[in-house]
Chain A
Amino acid sequence: MFCDFDLHMPDRLDDALSVLTDEKGMPMAGGTNLLVDMRSRKETPASVIALGNVGELRGIHFNDERTTIGSRTTVSDLLQSTELVSSSPSLVEAAAVFAGQMVRNAATVGGNIACASPAADLVPPLLSLDAELMLVSASGSRTVPLADYYQGYKRNIRGKDELITQISWARLPENSVNMFYKLARRKGDAITIVGVAVTLSISNGICRKARIALGAVAPYVLRARESERRLEGQVISEELLCAAASQAARECCPIDDVRASATYRRHVVKALVGRLLSQSWNRLV
């Protein structure tokens, strides 16, 4: 079943980092991805560093400017926080349609980001919130925008000795709407066919900020930057939103797989981006 591996269960972040040095070591948070991949032998780590006992990595914190969550915060934790509903609604919406209850109890935000799946459901919301990651190794730490984290299919800039420790983002500007929609073949425990998160900030009828993040339609979760550019600084109209939706559909590059065809995915991107943008607009006027 599994390959042979050494199991480390550190209590403190420092201890975790001190064993996360060699190429063949892998951190494990909830294990809902890693254990599945180890069982199918897609992953054969020589050592597994279980983060379950590292308490300092778990928690949700707010201050006047930013929301910060520890990487080991579980998807269920996100659903327990009332403050998160107002500060980051898209993330809570994604958590509510994430997997099923059992997986939500184990799965973590850090694991979802680190697995680098194009279908990772928390990533479009976090991109739509301009989230940043803190990467820490035994020799130091750095902060990188989530938007720069992914390099290709299941590829990212994380060094083998680094852990994602926290994720943070600034409060949304006034007059903003932030939402997420997951389209899948069933409601529980389903891999996303298309995930869309949008942030729309409007004042005086003009779009001040637009974020459109698309899941499962490219090698990694994508921001539809052209589409965003079309909106920002413009007077919002139904036609503009429609054009932005069409543009988003052009920007994605989906594939055919067992769940859906590329053509269908593109069709849905247009429909959902259009729908989420106009729902956001309706809420703001």
Chain B
Amino acid sequence: MIYGGPSDETAPNVKRWQVGKPLPRIDAAGKAFGSTPYAGDHVMPGMLHMCIVRANIASAKLRFLDVAKARALEGVVEILTAEDLPIAEVAPGSPDRDGTERPNTGPPILAGERIRYFGEPIALIAAETRDIAERARQLVEFDLEPLAGVYDPLEAMKPGAPIVQGNDNIVAVRNIRKGDAANRLEDADYVVENTFWTPFQEHAFLEPEAGLAWTDENDVINIRVCTQDIAHFRAIADAIGVPHNKVRVRGALVGGGFGGKEDCTLEKFLAVMVRKTRCPVRLEYSREDSFVGHGKRHPLILRYKTGVGKDGKISGLDVEIVADSGAYLFLSPYVLLYAAVASSGPYRIDNLNVRARAVATNNMYTSAFRGYGSMQACAAYEQQMDEVARVLEMDPIEFRRLNYLQTGEPISTGFVPPSAIWTEQCVDRAWKAMGGPVNSTQEHIKIGRGIAAYQQSYGRLSFLGDTSEAWVGVELDGTVIVRSGVADIGAGQISALCQITAEILGVALEDVVIYSSDSAVTPLAGRTAATRTLYMTGNATKQAAEAIRARLVRRAAQEFGVAPDEIDLVEGKVLARAQPDNCMSIGALAEICETEGICRSELAMFHPQLQDFLDPETGQGQAHPDYVYGAHAAEVSVDTETGEVCVLRSIGVHDVGQCINRAAVEGQIEGGAQNGQGFALSEEMLYEEGRLVTPSLSEYLMPTSMDMPRVESIILESRSGIGPFGAKGIGEPAITPVAPAIANAIANAIGVRVFQMPITPERIVNALEERDKRRRTMTAR
């Protein structure tokens, strides 16, 4: 089937029946009208309510813990501490086939003696009501002896620093070496060196973690929970010491994930309690619980040293990255790898040296967050590109143009992405959309513009191996059922699968129903993360639908006495293209298949080829299956007296390969613009000795609708991706370039750069004052 060639038109692709259209998502109405049940809406008769007792010092020894008084409270059913758990230490739910040695730094379900971060769980309470559980929490007595802690990754690497994990706190190391960066930097015309700081970030999904667990008639522990990964059922089973087939995770539509529900959140707490009490148990986090209950985005310190010739060509790049992994490892080695691989951006850099380390501290642990290390790297490399252009006295876009990676050229790891690299098209489209310059009418207001390009992987790390399954079946009335274990985390994942199926089988989107996110009855599809779901499960679904289509077409061709390639499936009908009167409903055709034993369903598995590990010394090899390219442009106004920033324009341009649902793609770009703007300007998790002092949405400031400009989305379609119909992905890419675009716009407006995000009004005022001070001392001399 030929679906047309590459196009950078923004008009929808009318040649298709379903794919590419901005259809209302299948999950939209229920969410808009409030009828969609989320995990927290599920209740059961006789269920118990849980709450968690957490440590209130970040680095401490638990000297004593006494739950007797709490247990004596009427209505309290069970209280569990580390001593009561069958298995104390549990490896994190992260993949372990990463080829590097690493210390066993998995978190226990409940802390025993050693407390490593503020909020670490030390006891679980189950009671007849939430109120009783809450009151019991006040009655738990414990004594923490403070131990020396370390809260800065640079401090944590120094000899003599308090040890949080391993022998030296360094929990992961990733290097990339290619060419001869040291010598190229030595003989470069210019060397530009800068250090960039990126902050913690909280996912702040609308739906805090919630779950319900019970034991069913097969003695299987069922857990209904909001999660990005139902495959945690295995880790949960291991944690409580039961066979894998005795735990079933049933997801629900998720009210936002962003990586924050990629690790186990409250599943293990529910599992140990349901196993002990044999009663249904429910646990729901408050917003405050959620702030301390899941890992954050890794703060990174990125030192960039770029060598560049007078001709504007980058000759060498040296990058040093330090990531704060917090108290436990979780996904740090992978996030770090993403940052290292991404650190040279969408540029051709033949001489590259990257040294990246993740360091344990007594801060909140850090793990997955949309963009996954690549986004932090982009925040640095795109600011650095502007700084280098400034030294060269070149236009930032023209400087980039001299260095863009082109289609068919190798990235930092030496791997050649199989798809098109349209960075240049995206940057140019974004800048064109910006239009002519705008000037401020007030003296204290400066207006500036910035651009940032990016490279973001889609699909899981190639050496970890990845599979995804989907089942598609046609009913006797021509309607269609899809089954796949994907978790829909709000980005339209399941709707896209239905749209793909509808396209292949020639039915309307309304004719497709999907069952998803059940580890026991839907074929496993892997986690909704790494911008992999459309690529992986989209391909699996398409394969399954195509297999059925082939059988239907063959049978119809026989019926109509034509060749199979003359058959079309359109609008619920099957017909011979040349003789449109020769036509029957897909239901009637399915009926024939049913009678004759032609299978109307198909289970398909998609799996990219497993790759070798990256070279441990040089980091060369294939890290990911492919990459997305694009750009974001921003226009800001800055009040030079108060440092206030207002984002006036926000334009995302992405080559998504192929839109499946244009409206959903725009939704991702708009959400990414908001998410990235918060990261750049206002979202701040302040920790004092590991204790979060901004634990609510009135202190942790995400941009509201009043802070957002209208986001402009420009969608390019190279149709070169390795997802279904040439699709790439957009979930993570949408956020990746936003923050540096805003940072570059601010620097453009005021002529100085704030190297630390978030770029708060206060930091801007300080940077301006320092510049004025420098100027004064220069004139004094």
Where the two chains meet, the residues of A that have a C-beta atom closer than 8 Å to any C-beta of B are 1, 100, 183, 185-191, 193, 258-261, 264, 267-268, 271-272, 275
In the complex the two chains form, is A189's CB within 8 Å of B704's CB? yes
Contacting B706 at CB < 8 Å: which of A183, A188, A272? A188
Asked whether any CB of chain A lies closer than 8 Å to the CB of B760, the reply is yes
Asked whether any CB of chain A lies closer than 8 Å to the CB of B587, the reply is no
In the complex the two chains form, is B765's CB within 8 Å of A186's CB? no
Q: How far is the CA of A118 from the CA of B707 in the complex (A)?
A: 24
In the complex the two chains form, is B760's CB within 8 Å of A185's CB? yes
Where the two chains meet, the residues of B that have a C-beta atom closer than 8 Å to any C-beta of A are 130-131, 134, 444, 641-642, 644, 681-682, 684, 686, 693-694, 698-699, 701, 703-707, 760-762, 765-766
User: Which residue of chain A has the shortest Cβ distance to B130 in the bound complex?
Assistant: A1
Given A1-B134, A264-B765; A186-B698 close (CB under 8 Å): no
Q: How far is the CA of A271 from the CA of B444 in the complex (A)?
A: 10
In the complex the two chains form, is B703's CB within 8 Å of A186's CB? yes
User: Which residue of chain A has the shortest Cβ distance to B288 in the bound complex?
Assistant: A40
In the complex the two chains form, is A260's CB within 8 Å of B707's CB? no
In the complex the two chains form, is B444's CB within 8 Å of A275's CB? yes
Residues of B within 8 A of A186 (CB): 681-682, 701, 703-704, 706-707
Instruction: With a 10 A CB-CB cut-off, give which of A100, A186, A261 has the most chain B CB atoms.
Output: A186
In the complex the two chains form, is A267's CB within 8 Å of B765's CB? yes
In the complex the two chains form, is A183's CB within 8 Å of B642's CB? yes
Q: How far is the CA of A186 from the CA of B759 in the complex (A)?
A: 12
Nearest-neighbour CB distance to chain B for A59, whole angstroms, equals: 28
In the complex the two chains form, is A183's CB within 8 Å of B134's CB? no
Q: How far is the CA of A154 from the CA of B686 in the complex (A)?
A: 25
Q: How far is the CA of A187 from the CA of B134 in the complex (A)?
A: 35
User: Which residue of chain B has the shortest Cβ distance to A267 in the bound complex?
Assistant: B765
Q: How far is the CA of A185 from the CA of B703 in the complex (A)?
A: 9
What are 13 of the A-B contact pairs (CB < 8 Å)? A1-B130, A1-B134, A183-B644, A185-B682, A185-B701, A185-B761, A186-B682, A186-B706, A186-B707, A189-B698, A258-B684, A264-B761, A267-B765
Residues of A within 8 A of B131 (CB): 1
Residues of A within 8 A of B130 (CB): 1
In the complex the two chains form, is A258's CB within 8 Å of B707's CB? no
The 6 closest A-B pairs by CB, nearest first: A188-B704, A188-B706, A271-B641, A187-B706, A264-B762, A187-B707
Nearest-neighbour CB distance to chain A for B133, whole angstroms, equals: 12
User: Which residue of chain B has the shortest Cβ distance to A264 in the bound complex?
Assistant: B762
Instruction: With a 10 A CB-CB cut-off, give which of A100, A261, A271 has the most chain B CB atoms.
Output: A271
Q: How far is the CA of A99 from the CA of B684 in the complex (A)?
A: 19
Nearest-neighbour CB distance to chain B for A187, whole angstroms, equals: 4
User: Which residue of chain A has the shortest Cβ distance to B684 in the bound complex?
Assistant: A258
Given A183-B642, A185-B760, A188-B707; A258-B694 close (CB under 8 Å): yes
User: Which residue of chain A has the shortest Cβ distance to B640 in the bound complex?
Assistant: A271
User: Which residue of chain A has the shortest Cβ distance to B758 in the bound complex?
Assistant: A185
Residues of B within 8 A of A259 (CB): 699
Residues of B within 8 A of A268 (CB): 641-642, 765
Instruction: With a 10 A CB-CB cut-off, give which of B130, B134, B706 has the most chain A CB atoms.
Output: B706
Residues of B within 8 A of A100 (CB): 704, 706
Residues of B within 8 A of A258 (CB): 684, 686, 693-694, 699
Residues of B within 8 A of A271 (CB): 641-642
Contacting A260 at CB < 8 Å: which of B134, B703, B704, B762? B762
In the complex the two chains form, is B760's CB within 8 Å of A188's CB? no
Q: How far is the CA of A275 from the CA of B641 in the complex (A)?
A: 10
Nearest-neighbour CB distance to chain B for A44, whole angstroms, equals: 13
User: Which residue of chain A has the shortest Cβ distance to B698 in the bound complex?
Assistant: A191
Q: How far is the CA of A83 from the CA of B433 in the complex (A)?
A: 42
Residues of B within 8 A of A275 (CB): 444, 641
Residues of B within 8 A of A191 (CB): 698
Q: How far is the CA of A193 from the CA of B682 in the complex (A)?
A: 13
User: Which residue of chain B has the shortest Cβ distance to A191 in the bound complex?
Assistant: B698
Residues of B within 8 A of A272 (CB): 641-642
User: Which residue of chain A has the shortest Cβ distance to B766 in the bound complex?
Assistant: A264
Nearest-neighbour CB distance to chain A for B137, whole angstroms, equals: 12
Given A185-B760, A268-B642, A275-B641; A190-B444 close (CB under 8 Å): no
Given A190-B701, A258-B699, A271-B641; A183-B762 close (CB under 8 Å): no
